[in-house]
């Protein structure tokens, strides 16, 4: 029987030791907020997990890992081992008997809603309260309500939440903004970081660190006390991203930290584990087989790409085309380092509020050194900010909207900001907004798709550096794309085709196009305010 226990210490040692269990209506215990969590599904079910995912019992690999067992997992595994070699054994029937798959909540809007009315109406449909979860579920309970993206994404996601918060604040839902800030503070306090999402199989990685932007957003409405309240969480998150910074030799890397040959400290995406992702097991196994590389190396790169949020994109591929050449852990990304610059400056501001002079000096220094490193290593001589391959010691020639993160963060040199804007206008601007890359690879974070969060980052960065004209062009084109899909299909979706005039929802990737959709809703409300003429 295949049972792997090495993930258990990662999960269980990080969880609060208090265990509060209550019996639910079906006779099983519910796991409460703060209770010890079970291992992730691949460990919990061993060979049964591999069999189910390999046989594609469900169309979507995420379905099984979100399912709830109808009996104790150890009992289910014992029954499987006893029955699997019997004549006429049906794995599908066995799974149907012992697991309850998740049921997605349908969203049927009232007729004749305007786009703004529809988004305001959607918030309640996308809000979840999960202070407990069925025992042995992969769901991590959270103390307060939160908004999910929608569709197959039945849990909260880290970087999605910032863009969702933009819309919640615009809709007057500051209560949900504060609730999700508190949930993330709880996750940082409990696990040392904000996981990719609140599932046990996401605990081994984080996502783009937008928490400082979330705190800043709330502070704009609620004042400086917000910085004081969340400063401990911000500092603890920073410690997570910077593990190994003081002990890594030059030219090496430890976890999320890369120390370049001159001593410059920057960051990369990473994952604690080097196994196939629970939620995409079969796809990862197939990618590793096609790569001709050590499987664990490929798995780590695939997982690191999931931490980036851009899963998947030519941006991370060695040949700019093929998923099997993924090398994310070898890349120093411009977006991640811009976000960490903002985290450093936000901590410095929080320490100013709390009058901790020593902390202010330290984090101002951290931010200044990072800005210097970004402008040295993450500037592409072809005229844009981009990623750097620290193992090959050269810039990556892949033009994506990630080049606009230094502008949003305010660390770009003015002349470079203008050159970056010209590159965006020349290379990425399409009829429906910004293309996610210049490569059409069938991956969802590539051409011809465009994504709401990248449009908002572009708009904020360009306006900051005096290119409000280009920001307006980008914003109005993407808004028209969203409006066209809503007019014809009465829904908002995860991503859009931006090449051509409003061709519809985007495609590619590991799963079908999802409706909902949290971050599209948030960004669309902001675009309606800026460029929608009061719609």
Note the pLDDT tens digit of each residue in 380-421.
999 999 999 999 999 999 999 999 999 999 999 999 999 999
309 is in an annotated binding site: yes
Tell which residue, 44, 33, 31, has the closest CA to residue 1: 44
206 is in an annotated binding site: yes
* 266 cis-preceded (ω within 30 degrees of 0): no
Element (H, E) at 183: helix 174-191
152 is in an annotated binding site: yes
Can you read off the two tokens belonging to residue 445? Answer: 């974070």
510 is in an annotated binding site: yes
Q: What is the pLDDT of residue 29?
A: 57
The order of strands in the sheet holding 257-259 is 252-254, 257-259, 265-267
7 is in an annotated binding site: no
Strands 127-128 and 146-147: antiparallel
Q: What is the pLDDT of residue 310?
A: 98
- CA dist., res. 319 & res. 155, Å (int): 34
| Number of helical H runs and strand E runs in the chain | 20, 20
Are the beta carbons of 531 and 472 closer than 8 angstroms?
A: yes
pLDDT digits (tens, 9 = 90+) for 244-272: 999 999 999 999 999 999 999 999 999 99
Are the beta carbons of 423 and 435 closer than 8 angstroms?
A: no
Q: 3-class DSSP state for residue 392?
A: coil
Q: Contacts from 91-95 at CB under 8 Å and sequence distance 24+?
A: 91/51, 91/52, 91/55, 91/57, 92/55, 92/57, 95/52, 95/57, 95/64
Can you read off the two tokens belonging to residue 189? Answer: 């306090």
Q: What is the pLDDT of residue 504?
A: 76
Residue with tokens 């042995």: 136
- CA dist., res. 329 & res. 377, Å (int): 16
List the catalytic residues: 311, 494
Q: What is the pLDDT of residue 260?
A: 98
Q: What is the pLDDT of residue 505?
A: 83
Element (H, E) at 497: strand 496-497
Are the beta carbons of 338 and 460 closer than 8 angstroms?
A: no
Spans of the chain, pLDDT less than 50: 1-28
205 is in an annotated binding site: yes
Task: Decide: pTM greater than 0.85.
Answer: yes
Q: What is the pLDDT of residue 15?
A: 33
Tell which residue, 235, 211, 227, has the closest CA to residue 156: 211
């Amino acid at each position: 029987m295949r049972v792997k226990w090495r993930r258990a210490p990662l999960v269980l040692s990080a969880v609060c030791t208090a265990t509060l269990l209550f019996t639910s209506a079906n006779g099983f215990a519910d796991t409460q907020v703060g209770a010890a969590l079970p291992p992730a599904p691949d460990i919990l079910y061993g060979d049964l997990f591999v069999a189910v995912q390999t046989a594609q019992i469900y169309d979507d690999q995420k379905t099984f890992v979100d399912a709830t067992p109808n009996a104790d997992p150890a009992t289910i595994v014992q029954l499987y081992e006893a029955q699997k070699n019997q004549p006429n054994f049906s794995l599908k029937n066995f799974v149907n008997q012992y697991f309850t798959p998740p049921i997605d909540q349908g969203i049927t809007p009232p007729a004749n809603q305007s786009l703004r009315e529809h988004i305001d109406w959607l918030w309640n449909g996308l809000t979840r309260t999960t202070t407990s979860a069925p025992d042995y579920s992969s769901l991590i309970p959270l103390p307060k309500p939160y908004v999910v993206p929608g569709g197959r994404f039945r849990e909260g996601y880290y970087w999605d939440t910032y863009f969702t918060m933009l819309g919640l604040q615009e809709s007057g839902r500051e209560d949900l903004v504060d609730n999700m800030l508190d949930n993330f503070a709880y996750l940082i306090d409990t696990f040392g970081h904000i996981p990719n999402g609140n599932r046990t199989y996401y605990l081994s990685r984080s996502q783009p660190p937008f928490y400082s932007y979330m705190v800043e957003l709330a502070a704009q409405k609620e004042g400086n006390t917000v910085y004081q309240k969340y400063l401990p969480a911000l500092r603890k998150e920073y410690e997570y991203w910077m593990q190994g910074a003081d002990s890594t030799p030059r030219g090496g890397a430890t976890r999320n930290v890369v120390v370049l040959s001159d001593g410059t400290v920057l960051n990369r995406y990473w994952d604690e584990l080097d196994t196939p992702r629970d939620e995409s097991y079969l796809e990862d196994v197939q990618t590793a087989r096609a790569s001709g590389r050590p499987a664990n190396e490929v798995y780590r790169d695939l997982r690191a790409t999931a931490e980036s949020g851009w899963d998947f994109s030519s941006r991370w591929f060695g040949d700019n085309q093929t998923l099997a050449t993924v090398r994310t852990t070898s890349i120093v990304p411009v977006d991640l380092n811009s976000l960490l610059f903002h985290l450093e400056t936000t901590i410095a501001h929080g320490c100013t509020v709390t009058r901790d002079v020593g902390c202010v000096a330290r984090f101002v220094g951290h931010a200044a050194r990072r800005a210097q490193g970004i402008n040295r290593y993450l500037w592409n001589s072809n005229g844009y900010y981009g990623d750097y391959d620290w193992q090959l010691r050269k810039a990556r020639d892949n033009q994506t909207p990630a080049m606009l993160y230094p502008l949003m963060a305010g660390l770009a040199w003015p002349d470079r900001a203008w050159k970056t804007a010209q590159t965006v206008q020349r290379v990425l601007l399409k009829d429906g907004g910004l293309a996610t890359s210049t490569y059409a690879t069938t991956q969802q974070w590539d051409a011809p798709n465009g994504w709401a969060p990248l449009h908002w980052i572009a708009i904020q960065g360009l306006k900051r550096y005096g290119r409000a004209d280009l920001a307006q062009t980008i914003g109005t084109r993407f808004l028209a794309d969203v409006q066209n899909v809503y007019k014809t299909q009465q829904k908002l979706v995860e991503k859009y085709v931006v090449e051509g005039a409003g061709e519809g929802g985007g495609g590619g990737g590991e799963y079908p196009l999802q409706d909902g959709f949290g971050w599209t809703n948030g960004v669309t409300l902001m675009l309606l305010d800026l460029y929608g003429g009061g719609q």
